[in-house]
Amino acid sequence: MKKYILKPGRHQFAPGSAAVHSSDNLTDEEAEWYLQRYPHIAGLFIAPPEDSKSVSPEVEKPRKRRARRVIGGPITKSIIH
């Protein structure tokens, strides 16, 4: 399955270029090559690669435990007479 999918239509990668890039003619290797040289084109992809990278590690992270709130200082044993 393709990792990099361009949004529908034909796109320019370099300013002034003819719009020739589409999902049909762009392999993953080419997409990575272009992304390295033209970082601004990340927004042209359906799932921008930067977002998918930044999201995935955080999902796996365990949630931080909430610190217990201590009200009224340390609990002392109450003496029952």
Partner 1 sequence: MSIYNKINAGFSLGSAEPITSGIEDVVYIFNQDDFVLTYDTLNPLIIKDITAVGTAKVYKFEGTNNSFNTMSKLAKTQVGPRYTEEIDFNIAGLSTDVKTQIMAMGYGRVRAIAINNHKDGDSAVELFGAVNGLIVTEAERNAADETLDGGYKIKLTNPDKLKEPYPPRAVSIPPITGSATYASTIAALEELVG
Give the footprint of partner 1 on this chain (CB under 8 A).
12-14, 16-18, 20-21, 25-27, 29-30, 33-34, 37-38
Q: What is the DSSP string of 48-77?
A: -HHHHHHHHHHHHSPPPPPPPP--SSS--P
Q: Which is nearer to partner 1, 12 or 23 (CB)?
A: 12
The first and second tokens of residue 79, run together, are 């003496």
- Nearest distance, CB of residue 35 and partner 1, angstroms: 11
Distance CA 44, CA 23 (A): 10
CB of 36 to partner 1, least distance (A): 9
Pick 33 or 55: Cβ nearer partner 1: 33
